[in-house]
Amino acid sequence: MIEAANLVKRYGPHTAVDHANFKIEKGEVVGFLGPNGAGKSTTMNILTGYLSSTEGTITVDGQDILEHPIEAKRKIGYLPENPPLYPEMTVREYLSFAGEIKKVPAKVLRGRVGQVMETVGAQDVAGRLIKNLSKGYKQRVGLAQAMIGDPQILILDEPTAGLDPKQILEIRDLITRLGEDHTIILSSHILPEVSAVCRRVLIINQGVIVADDTPENLAKRLLGGSHIILRLDAGREAVSEVLAKIAGVSGQEERQPQEEGTTELVLEAAGDADIRRDIFRAFAAADIPILMMRSLDMSLEEIFLHVTTNEEAAKQ
C-alpha cells in the first residue's frame, strides 16, 4: 500500500533520514517510533508529500508520490501533531472547507461531513466555533479533517498529545475502529498506546530503521528465544527431576522464590518452541502444582530503549 525505497533526506551536511526501506501493506496498523531528532517527523512528512526526499522513492498504492502527487496524496489522510484548524470557523464549516480543498464532489460533501463527524464523535459540536472546543474535541476534528477525502491511508502524528486519560482512551478506541477499514501509520511517544493499537512497529534512530517487526518477535529476538517464568509448589530437587524429562527445555535460570516453599525458574525453550503444554503435563504427572506460568516478555518501552541505546553505542 505504501513503500519507502532507499529514502534519504539531507539538510546540508546533516542526514536526517539515511536509506530507509520499509513497506506497509493494506489494512496494517503500524507504530512508527523514534527518539526526538531521530528522523521520524521528517520521514512522515516525506510520506505525506509535504517534503521531498533527497534520494529514494515513496510509492502509494503503486503511484510515485513525486511523479503523481495528486493521485498519491488523494489516498492519504494526515493528522499532524498540531491539527491545522481554523479557530474562527465552526466544525461543520471547517470540515466543508477541508472537503472542498480535497475536491470532494459537492453533491456528496454534505453527507460526507456528517459521516466523518459521526465517526469521530463530533456531531454534538458541529455548530460550535473550533476555538471554544476542548483539546480532545479539537483532536477529533483534526482526525475528521484527515478522513474527509475518504483516504485509504491515515498517517497520525501524536494523535493523543495533550489529552487527559479519558480522552486518550476514547481516541485509542477510535483508532482501533478505523484500523478495520484503513491502513494506519501511528506515531506516538506513549508506547503503551502503540502496544494497544499496533501489531507491528517500525523504530527509527539517527535516521536509520533499526527495527521492523511485531513487538512479540522483537522481544523474542532480544531475549534470545521463548522464555517461561514458572513458580512450582515443590523443592528444587524434585523440580529438577521433572525438568530433566522435558525435551523442549534448553536452559533454566533459578530466581529468588516469591513464596515460601516454592521454586521459581525462568525456562528457555529449544528452537523457539511452545513448551507450556509439555510443562503442564510433566508436572501434573509428578503431582507438583504449578502456581504460576507465564511468558517472559519485554515491554515495548524496554524494546525501544534496548534497540535505540544499542544502536547509539555501536556508532560511538
Kindly state the average pLDDT of the residues 14-33.
92
pLDDT confidence of 311, banded at 50, 70, 90? low
Which of 215, 242, 276 corresponds to the end of one domain?
215
Answer whether residue 188 is part of any domain. Answer: yes
Do 150 and 64 share a structural domain? yes
| Identity at 192, one-letter amino acid code | P
pLDDT confidence of 232, banded at 50, 70, 90? very high
Strands, DSSP E only, in 52-180? Answer: 55-60, 63-64, 76-79, 153-157
Phi and psi angles of residue 190, each rounded to the nearest 5 degrees, phi first: -90, 95
pLDDT confidence of 144, banded at 50, 70, 90? very high
Average pLDDT of the residues of the chain: 88
Which of 193, 215, 237 corresponds to the end of one domain?
215
Residue 190 predicted with pLDDT over 90: no
Answer whether residue 175 is part of any domain. Answer: yes
Do 154 and 72 share a structural domain? yes
CATH number of residue 133's parent domain: 3.40.50.300
- Phi-psi sector, 141: left (phi>0), alpha (psi -120 to 50), beta: alpha
In the block, cell 503523481 appears at 68
Tell me the three state secondary structure of residue 144.
helix
Q: Note down the domain range covering 245.
A: 220-295
Kindly state the average pLDDT of the residues 222-249.
86
Question: How does strand 2-11 pair with strand 55-60?
Answer: antiparallel
Query: What SS3 string covers 79-115?
Result: ECCCCCCCCCCEHHHHHHHHHHHCCCCHHHHHHHHHH
CATH number of residue 249's parent domain: 3.30.70.260
Do 199 and 63 share a structural domain? yes
pLDDT tens figures, 72-94? 889 999 998 888 899 999 999 99
Worst-scoring range by mean pLDDT, 8-17, 181-190, 303-312?
A: 303-312
Answer whether residue 183 is part of any domain. Answer: yes
Contacts of residue 9, Cβ cutoff 8 Å, sequence gap at least 6: 15, 16, 17, 39, 42, 43, 46, 51, 53, 54, 207
pLDDT confidence of 1, banded at 50, 70, 90? confident
pLDDT confidence of 6, banded at 50, 70, 90? very high
Phi and psi angles of residue 311, each rounded to the nearest 5 degrees, phi first: -65, -40
Residue 315 predicted with pLDDT over 60: no
Dihedral of CA atoms 136, 141, 143, 145 in degrees, nearest 10, equals -160
* Nearest of 133, 3, 140, 129 to residue 59 by alpha carbon: 3
Do 93 and 230 share a structural domain? no
Residue 227 near residue 266 (C-beta atoms within 8 A): yes
Residue 28 predicted with pLDDT over 80: yes
* Nearest of 70, 17, 108 to residue 4 by alpha carbon: 17
Task: Copy the grid coordinates of residue 191.
Answer: 508506547
pLDDT tens figures, 282-299? 999 999 999 999 887 767
Residue 37 predicted with pLDDT over 90: no
For residue 85, the model assigns a pLDDT of 94
Kindly state the average pLDDT of the residues 257-270.
88
